[in-house]
Amino acid sequence: YSSPSPLALCRLTQVRWSRYNPSFLEPEVNKELYQKPWEELSEEEKEKVELKAVQPIKAAPPSVSSSVFSDPMISKFTNMMMKNGNKVLARSLMAQTLEAIKRKQLEKYHKAPEDEKEAIECNPYVIFHQALKNCQPIIGLSNITKGGKTYQVPVPLKDNRKRFLAMKWLITECRENKHRRMLMPEKLSQELLQAFNNEGPIIKKKHVLHKMAEANRAYAHFRWW
Amino acid sequence: TLRLIYTTTAVQRKNVGASGPEKYTEAFIKKQIEEFNLGKRHLANMMGEDPETFTQEDIDKAIAYLFPSGLFDKRARPMMKHPTEIFPEQRKIQWGEDGRPFHFLFYTGKQSYYSLMHETYEKLLNAQKYQDQVTAQDLPPQKEKKNLAGSRWLTKIELEEMLLEKLSDNDYLRFILLLQKLMTLPCGDIEEKYIQKFSKEVPAQLQKVVIEPLKYDERGVAFSTGEGTRKTARATAVVYDNGTGKVTVNGIDILHYFPVLQDREQLLFPFQFLDRIGKHDMVCTVSGGGRSAQAGAIRLASAKALKSFVTEKEVEFMRQAGLLTVDPRVKERKKPGQEGARRKFTWKKR
């Protein structure tokens, strides 16, 4: 049994619709979740599994697969880098970036003395995730109009918004502030490595945003949500 | 005047209970039923079948044969169905000859809805009283049978048909919330019967998928076929057992046919999900669509073919991973007055 969805409760007509019936659920591609034996699941998970068995499920999109190499963050980043629907180019740029990161890290690894060798991270996926995490701002600013004047009010950000801002800053930084002849993968790998070490222009931008939020602390009570 | 037939009660806009005499009297409907049964026997005799065992399907086939129609809309073609399906149920007149209504809630406007709410609330109070009695006597707790997943509540349209009255969304929601509250209490057998009137069985597993048995070709190798579609692409795949993992599309190797990595990933997705990468051979034919659509179509076809090689549990896992559903997304049509499907023309102030 399930109660009517919150959208139905609002009694609003929807402008954004999809070809799927609203009762369809999102597919779960991760293989490991299906390999857990029945007894190890907790009560909630068992209920979820039973409910899922009765509901129809949407088809998996073409950008998602169950192999080790497909990563949701990397796919999201590739889509944001894509221009005019040229996914082939975006994917190849992403692959070249990861390769460039690996090469640079391996160079460093072979040149470093014995005791520092373990501290150097060679896995480009780990570097990518860590760099993105370091770039994510904690607070953002939002424009609130009160009494005719618009104030910049510090506001906590949702996880999705943080990830989006980090990726957007990375991409705009790489597209604009580079030498005309430098290619995107090289510049991107440079920025990612810098962000991984908590230095570089994107981290600076994040700190500037935090300082602005700290400066506008006085208006924080304007927020009503 | 036109009369609306072969519809549901929810479609009738006018408040039939308040208007004049009934349009379909009971005698009229009885006569229609007799005529229908007679006509059924005549039809059976005409077709040379046995009148006793003439089912509705046979009637439909006979009518389609005797009155061929080229109309596209199935509802416009000649049909012969039982009068209860054709003439929608209507409420009988709610008041007597002196003008006094029968039901005490008639003047609320939605008498059946409010009487239903009253009954349900009465059951709720009973359940609470019963629970108080049980806790007072310190009896052991009742057995809890929770089959949450196997049933669903009636939809708003079904409830309207049951009550022969129009409902608003708010009313329907309130009723469902009340039923849920009733269900969460430790119910006795009385309330369960009452609740069953308003719930419907959902097919226990949405495995309406049909798993076909394996076929064997001349060399004794097991194989199975599957078909898949995506946008405008149509694909058929034949998956052979005891293979090396070679995949051929339209006679060409996949490395040459799909130079893009993403498409090849999609082709191997079902095999990788079931950990059977080097164990099967595949031969596919595909036509139509673009490169990504063809890859998606072959993925569906191969997943359907692999169903016959795998246990039922793994088929359920494949379904939950979204491998066995047909992707319904197609290109949206362009609308008049707009440049594309969604993009509007540039707005000019003057």
Q: Give the nearest partner residue to A66 out of B273, B326, B330, using CB atoms.
A: B273
> How close are the terminal C-alpha atoms of chain A, in Å?
32
Q: Could you tell me the pLDDT band of residue A189, with boundaries at 50, 70 and 90?
A: very high
Query: What residue in B sits closest to A21 (Cα-Cα)?
Result: B328
Query: pLDDT by residue (tens digit) across B66-93?
Result: 999 999 998 889 999 998 888 877 777 7
Q: Give the nearest partner residue to B173 out of A9, A34, A69, using CB atoms.
A: A9
Nearest to B295 by CA among B347, B208, B228: B228
Query: pLDDT by residue (tens digit) across B2-30?
Result: 666 776 665 555 554 445 445 778 888 89
Q: Tell me if chain B has a CB within 8 Å of the CB of A8.
A: yes
What is the predicted ipTM? 0.85
Choose, out of B273, B314, B318, the residue to mutate when testing the contact with A (most A CBs < 10 Å). B273
Interface of A with B in 21-40 (CB under 8 A): 27-29, 31, 34
Answer whether 0.80 is exceeded by the pTM.
no
Q: B131: helix, coil or strand?
A: helix
Determine whether the interchain pair A3/B180 forms a contact, defined as Cβ–Cβ distance below 8 Å.
yes
B243 pLDDT above the threshold of 90: no
State what percent of residues in chain B have pLDDT above 70. Answer: 89
B188 pLDDT above the threshold of 70: no
| Structural domain boundaries in chain A | 87-222
**CA–CA separation, A75 and A63 (whole Å):** 7
Q: Give the nearest partner residue to A34 out of B173, B296, B317, using CB atoms.
A: B317
Q: Give the residue, B34 or A54, on which the prediction is more confident.
A: B34
A4 pLDDT above the threshold of 70: no
Q: Tell me if chain B has a CB within 8 Å of the CB of A57.
A: yes
Query: pLDDT by residue (tens digit) across A162-187?
Result: 999 999 999 999 998 888 888 999 99
State what percent of residues in chain B have pLDDT above 90. Answer: 43
Around Cβ B86, how many Cβ atoms within 10 Å?
A: 16
Determine whether the interchain pair B149/A51 forms a contact, defined as Cβ–Cβ distance below 8 Å.
yes
Choose, out of B152, B156, B320, the residue to mutate when testing the contact with A (most A CBs < 10 Å). B320
Cα three-residue angle B83-B87-B92, rounded to 5 degrees: 115
Written as six digits, the tokens of A180 are: 């005309």
Give B35→chain A minimum CA distance, Å: 42
Q: A42: helix, coil or strand?
A: coil
As a whole number, mean pLDDT of residues A125-137 equals 93
Q: A1: helix, coil or strand?
A: coil
Task: Spell out which chain B residues touch chain A, with contact meaning CB-CB distance below 8 angstroms.
Answer: 148-153, 169-170, 173, 176-177, 180, 183, 199, 202-206, 260-262, 265-266, 268-269, 272-273, 292, 295-296, 300, 316-317, 319-323, 325-330
Mark B236-258 as b/e (b = at least 16 C-beta within 10 Å): bbbbbbebeeebebeeeebeebb
Query: pLDDT by residue (tens digit) across A77-125?
Result: 999 999 999 999 999 999 999 999 999 999 999 998 888 888 888 899 9
Nearest to B127 by CA among B74, B176, B193, B83: B193
Q: Which pLDDT value is given to residue B20?
A: 46
**Residue B254 near residue B247 (C-beta atoms within 8 A):** yes
A9 pLDDT above the threshold of 60: no
Q: Give the nearest partner residue to A62 out of B148, B296, B325, using CB atoms.
A: B296
Query: pLDDT by residue (tens digit) across B271-320?
Result: 999 988 888 999 999 999 999 999 999 999 999 999 888 888 888 888 88
Q: Which domains are delineated in chain B? A: 26-86 (no CATH), 106-201 (no CATH), 215-321 (3.30.230.10)
Q: Give the nearest partner residue to B177 out of A3, A34, A56, using CB atoms.
A: A3
B192 pLDDT above the threshold of 70: yes
Please name the CATH architecture into which domain A87-222 falls: Orthogonal Bundle (1.10)
Written as six digits, the tokens of B87 are: 């003439």
State what percent of residues in chain A have pLDDT above 70. Answer: 93
As a whole number, mean pLDDT of residues B188-211 equals 76
- Identify the helix (H) or strand (E) that includes residue B263: helix B261-273
- Hey, CA dihedral for A104, A110, A116, A117, is it positive or negative? positive
Residues 6 or more apart whose CB falls under 8 angstroms from that of A217 comprise A154
Size of interface A-B (CB pairs under 8 A): 102
**CA–CA separation, B241 and B218 (whole Å):** 13
For residue A51, the chain B residues in CB contact (below 8 A) are 148-149
Determine whether the interchain pair B206/A63 forms a contact, defined as Cβ–Cβ distance below 8 Å.
no
Around Cβ A57, how many Cβ atoms within 10 Å?
A: 20
Q: Give the nearest partner residue to B149 out of A34, A50, A66, using CB atoms.
A: A50
Q: Which pLDDT value is given to residue B257?
A: 93
